[in-house]
Structure 1
Amino acid sequence: MKNPDRTSLSRRGSRAPLLFGVLTILLVLSVLISAGTGQLAIPPHEVLGSVLHRIGIDWLPLPSIPAGDDALWAIRFPRVAMSVLIGIGLAVSGLIMQAIFGNPLAEPGVIGISSGAAVGAGISIVFGLTVFGQWTTAVLAFVTGLIATLIVYSMSRAEGRTEVVTLVLTGIAVNAIAGAAIAALTFVGDSQSREAIVFWQLGSLKGMSWSQVLIVTPIIAVGLIAAYVTSRKLDLLSLGERNARHLGVNVELLRISMILVVSLLVGAAVAFAGIISFVGLVIPHLMRMVLGPAHLPLVTASALAGALLMTLADLAARTLVPMAELPIGILTSLVGGPFFFWLLRRTRKRSGGWG
């Protein structure tokens, strides 16, 4: 007689190639549609034709409208590429957070990265800093996000070990302090600075460039590689810290390295796009419901689904309101908020709450 647990795992494992294929097709379609949508409407086959022409393949026609090809490569493709990269970064960082905390409700904002980055961005905006030229806001946001994470981590260590509960509580305290700092910056800034801070906190992919894409790409690539390399150890950690240690996992080193990876992934995303909530919570949990607990396929699935969600969210942000653009953080929160409530109720029903 077959073991039902093994049968269930086998079924879930067989779903992975199908899920990867579906997500890849949907992502390609969403990229083509998103790139072709705007004041200059370009059909998807012409968008694909423009891409193919750049690599020397003349199967499909170029955009027929004047300056269509230039608009794609100067404005739309950088924005779409950034939405894909940020979606990957946020989703994979959420997956890692849930793995090292052993909690499906964990997400990157817990350790203060986003709120810390917001303080750096606010300082740059209010005081008009130009130390790094046009990159000043992004650089300060990235640096202060990392600093906030290091503060949370260092304060949660005791006797050479990291206490997860203390880490979460410290993150809450740091988020509260950062919120107060942002409020103070909003108070002392002029009306233009206040609008800029508020808009930055709501998240947007407006005005992305290839130079920004080139900066974010290697960071996301490093984060992805790290997630793949440690996926087996994350599987062992899900069995419990004691069991993972008996199986040869250096739990403390794993947790330190993964928190650093999450800081890099989220810091890069937040620095250029502002705060975008719930992607790191929703996507990994949905993929886990489909594929099960094994982290190797979950990294791929979360990356593809995160990229898809961000591409669709950006498309919606640009098209839902005529002649205006919605902050993308509003849309992800509208999706993620109700999902979080559902997830909270589902978790409480299964475990009876948290003791």
Structure 2
Amino acid sequence: MSHRNFVRGPRHALIHAMPLLIAGLALALGGTMLFGVSVGSTGIPLDVVWKVVASHLGIEGIEASWSAGRDNIVWEVRAPRVILGATIGASLALVGAALQSVTRNTLADPHLLGISSGAALGAIVAMLHTGMILGAVTVPLFAFAGALGSTALVIATARFTHSADAGRLILSGVAISFVISSLGSLAILLGDPRATHTVVFWMLGGLGLAQWSHLPYPLAALFGCGLYIFLNARNFNAMTLGDESATTLGLNAGRFRLATFVVCALLTGAAVAFSGIISFVGLMVPHIVRGVVGGDYRRVLPLSALAGAILLVVADIAARIIIPPQDMPIGIITGLAGGIFFIGLMRGNRSAG
């Protein structure tokens, strides 16, 4: 057997076992979330966690043998936190996979393209300068507007500098990200000094402010935008072949790329609004998934969503147990992991560079 066939054999076996792989990752996600509720500065046994959750879901026949304090920790503090973490992780992984297709650049992600910085700027303006003028949706809407604005700036800059190729599009994104980050720092400087500490900590990324009342917004964004991304899996496959090939397959490449940028801006805005800036999830997860099951987006997208959810829940668990009882900002953990992954990626792809 040739080396190529030996390498492809395990991958083909995984491809044929896709339903089992998806089911396995879904079970792993459920187990990780349950474990995430149990750990922290105050450890709670898994059986107690399960009973508390089951009782709040209306399952009968469970005797309430736990304290009110544990009930509050499990249901009001940690349960919304792990659900938000899974939602944000899935959202960022889908955004990264989609952007890597339409830009035909495996280094594309919402952070490197400046979308996260734009969303953060919009959220900062809402929190420090305008107030909740639109009610609870103010921060998500401002974050989406910032993400969409930064996306437009990246595209405009790429056209202005004649940077049509995918690699230079990433450089345009990095440049815009620096500019928008500076504007965000200026907005913090000019804002209310009493709120600055909270905003700076929020910008580092974290899930500590999660509440049940917050969850409908990122969940709605994930459901709506994720459905669009999943339904266009074949189009993402076509975009990886280049605009000309996609056009011959009947796809309007420019229009689809623009629609994808808008959808990704909405998903990123919803994520950043409730978790701050969490980098590199969108870069790492699609790479790992493609290395396992290949580049077909019909497989890459669902597995990326599940793997991204698991990754962020695990990162949040680490953030809570590294320096107890304090929570380390989750953006620090993903940034460290992502930076190391990025270096390894460049070393692995040095011949292609």
Structure-2-length-normalised TM-score:
0.88
Could you tell me how far 1:242 is from its partner in structure 2?
Answer: 1.8
Aligned residue for 2:333? Answer: 331
Q: Say whether the 8 Å CA contact 2:122–2:143 is kept in structure 1.
A: yes
Distance 1:142 1:61 in 2: 45
Could you tell me how far 1:131 is from its partner in structure 2?
Answer: 1.9
Letter of the structure 1 residue corresponding to residue 254 of structure 2: E
Letter of the structure 2 residue corresponding to residue 75 of structure 1: V
Aligned residue for 1:77? Answer: 79
Query: Which of 140, 144, 147 is equivalent to 1:145?
Result: 147
Aligned residue for 1:184? Answer: 186
Q: Say whether the 8 Å CA contact 2:40–2:324 is kept in structure 1.
A: no
Distance 1:165 1:105 in 2: 9
Q: Say whether the 8 Å CA contact 1:30–1:311 is kept in structure 2.
A: yes
Aligned residue for 1:308? Answer: 310
Could you tell me how far 1:60 is from its partner in structure 2?
Answer: 6.0
Letter of the structure 2 residue corresponding to residue 146 of structure 1: L
Aligned residue for 1:274? Answer: 276
Q: How does 1:149-188 map to 2 (within 5 A)?
A: 149-156=151-158, 164=166, 167-188=169-190
Letter of the structure 2 residue corresponding to residue 215 of structure 1: Y
Residues 126 and 61 (structure 1 numbering): CA distance in 2 closer, same or farther, change over 3 Å? same
Could you tell me how far 1:15 is from its partner in structure 2?
Answer: 4.4
Q: How does 1:110-121 map to 2 (within 5 A)?
A: 110-121=112-123
Pair 1:243-2:245 in alignment = yes
Q: Give 5+ residue unaligned stretches, structure 2.
A: none
| Number of residue-to-residue matches in the alignment | 349
Could you tell me how far 1:260 is from its partner in structure 2?
Answer: 1.2
Aligned residue for 1:292? Answer: 294
Q: Say whether the 8 Å CA contact 2:91–2:271 is kept in structure 1.
A: yes
Distance 1:323 1:6 in 2: 47
Pair 1:45-2:54 in alignment = no
Distance 1:279 1:184 in 2: 27
Distance 1:65 1:39 in 2: 17
Distance 1:63 1:235 in 2: 53
Q: Say whether the 8 Å CA contact 1:241–1:251 is kept in structure 2.
A: yes
Query: Which of 24, 27, 38 is equivalent to 2:26?
Result: 24
Q: Say whether the 8 Å CA contact 2:81–2:208 is kept in structure 1.
A: yes
Could you tell me how far 1:196 is from its partner in structure 2?
Answer: 2.9
Residues 15 and 291 (structure 1 numbering): CA distance in 2 closer, same or farther, change over 3 Å? farther
- Residues 270-322 of structure 1: per-residue CA shift (max 9 Å, x gap): 01110000000011100000010110111111111111011111111112112
Worse overlay, 124-133 or 211-220: 124-133
Letter of the structure 1 residue corresponding to residue 149 of structure 2: I
Distance 1:330 1:285 in 2: 21
Letter of the structure 2 residue corresponding to residue 319 of structure 1: I
Residues 165 and 63 (structure 1 numbering): CA distance in 2 closer, same or farther, change over 3 Å? farther
Distance 1:287 1:59 in 2: 41
Q: Say whether the 8 Å CA contact 1:95–1:280 is kept in structure 2.
A: yes
Could you tell me how far 1:133 is from its partner in structure 2?
Answer: 4.7
Secondary structure of 1:326's match? coil
Could you tell me how far 1:153 is from its partner in structure 2?
Answer: 3.1
Secondary structure of 2:349's match? helix
Structure-1-length-normalised TM-score:
0.88
Could you tell me how far 1:198 is from its partner in structure 2?
Answer: 2.2
Residues 261 and 62 (structure 1 numbering): CA distance in 2 closer, same or farther, change over 3 Å? farther
